[in-house]
Structure 1
Amino acid sequence: MQRKKATIVTVITSLVGIAIGLTIWGMIFLGYGNASTGASSQPQLAVDSEKVPETTAPIQDSKPTEPDNSSLDSGESTSQSDLSSSSEQPPAANSDKSSSPTQPPQAVQLTGPAADVVWSVSTTANAVFITVDDGWYPTDSVLAIMRAQHVPISAFLIENAAKEHPDFWREFMAAGGDIENHTLSHPDLTKVSTQEVISQIETTQKYLSSFSPPTLFRPPYGNYNQTVSQAVYQAGIKHVIMWNATMSNNELQTYNGKPLEPGSIILLHWEPDLSSELEKLLGILRQNHLGVASLPYALSHPNNFPVIWPLPEAAD
């Protein structure tokens, strides 16, 4: 009986020893595996950490070149300069990028009243209005007609043209004419920026005021919009003057094809043959028993303006 017990103890001891041995070998094996795995993952972490500056640096460099429209709208003038100063770095080789961004010009918007647009003058007087555009070919023969027959003429002048013959325009005013605004260089004002519209009108207004401040404005090509009308009013002019009849090639044409009516505004141009065009027009007016009045005066004094041509004693 004692021998059986000893045998059982011996078997149990052997099993325990084997279990302990297996446990030790398992721990050694697992430890080796973990050590091997940790050694292989560490370089990967190092590679990932090196990618961070490579991906973020270009994003940081590109921000100052993008205009901050919100700061422009709110009037904050410091936000863009702060971006520029904080991002200044030596230029990279073969780089075309400038070190400081350029602010786009702030858009100009006009608000407020606009000048009224006049195609003809409502009047009971038997009179029309003569307007002559541009000013590149001023001729003494026109002055002679004005002096002899007292014909009032409104000259809508391009500033660049008026500057060529300032003495002539002083004589023109002395002969009974008036000088009005037709822009600096005759662009289509509906196709340029608002700032350019303002400059074209106000620059010319300032120059022509050296003769007499214009009270009327005619848009080049007859093209205008709300912005143009607002810019005209802002310049101190209340009327945008159009026309409903033209005199060209010694022929008078009305917009509706009907005979000329009282209050009509007639368009001619300062061309070499203007004096012959003017004589022809005056002949047509005589046949239709129409006189000529001063346009700016008539607009300032509706139905209370004189008919200047022809003189009363010369009327038919």
Structure 2
Amino acid sequence: MHVWEENVAALRRSVHAGTSVSLLLCAGVAVYFLVTFDRPNRPLLLVVVGIAAAVAGVASVVPLEAMARRRLIAPFFLGWSIALVAIVAAAVAVENDPSSPFIAFFFLPMVFGAIAYPLRLVLALSAIDVAASVATLTFALEYEAADTLLFAIALLGAMLLCLYQARAHEEHLAEVARLSRTDHLTGTLNRRGFEDELDERLARFRRYGTPIGLVLLDLDGFKAVNDLQGHAAGDDLLRRVAASIDGAVRATDCAARVGGDEFAVLLEQSDGITAPMVAVRIVDAVSLHSAATAGAASCPDDADDAEELYRIADARLYESKRAGSLRA
């Protein structure tokens, strides 16, 4: 799922902004109709405005949480914007006036998309918007080819600006998401990132049956390092331990710092036999810098939910500590 689709609160704000502006424009257009009611096709245009208001009303009550769970966020927003483009095209065609002010409304869906949508949706919406505007000007208003071309060039310029903005916004969101999941000291995942990754891998297990191993690692004597050598030495130790863990596992495995001196490693395609073996390998690698104790559990051999899997690995870690063993 795209990071944009995960932030339901931000999506709700986008819907609120889009529907509020839509209803405000509908009210403004209604006033425009009253002032120009002697012009042709005003009743039919009022119907078009009513449809626009109805679309905004429906969009405002869409259950975004349920749609996010079903991965329907992108289709909903793209469908909503396409409906707005169609409404603008209908208003221009019904008014049937080459100087219609509704022609300028073709720019609005792209502007909203640049502010609220990821790059791929802005690209799709912009292409549809440009095609719809060119078709409307050519066939409904019978614009001269040169006039249509100039308008299309202006719309394409706006499209490029919108794509630039959407890309910058997407990169910013991705960086914020990465920072929120990363431990700033070691560069591994933090607890939040670990929990998200564990949930994703458990979902993959339920769908494809891919086994998962979990190793919890606790450094022995880390407090003494901080007390005797200072926090800078402790920080350096944590960085070296994280690097050792990364070197002891595969690229498909995932390391995280989940506490002060506690690390967790998620193992891809690892069962109740291989997970303890990898735990021993990790302890061996870390022992170059610090004594450590590990505990391992696996899904589905030990548990198939996050809380129980973590509890079992943690219990085995402390069993090893009580036994005086430095290995899993």
Q: TM-score, normalised by structure 1?
A: 0.23
Choose between structure 1 and 2: higher helix proportion.
2
Quick check: which has more Rg, 1 or 2? Answer: 1
Choose between structure 1 and 2: higher strand proportion.
1
Q: Which has the higher contact order (CA 8 A, sep 6+)?
A: 1
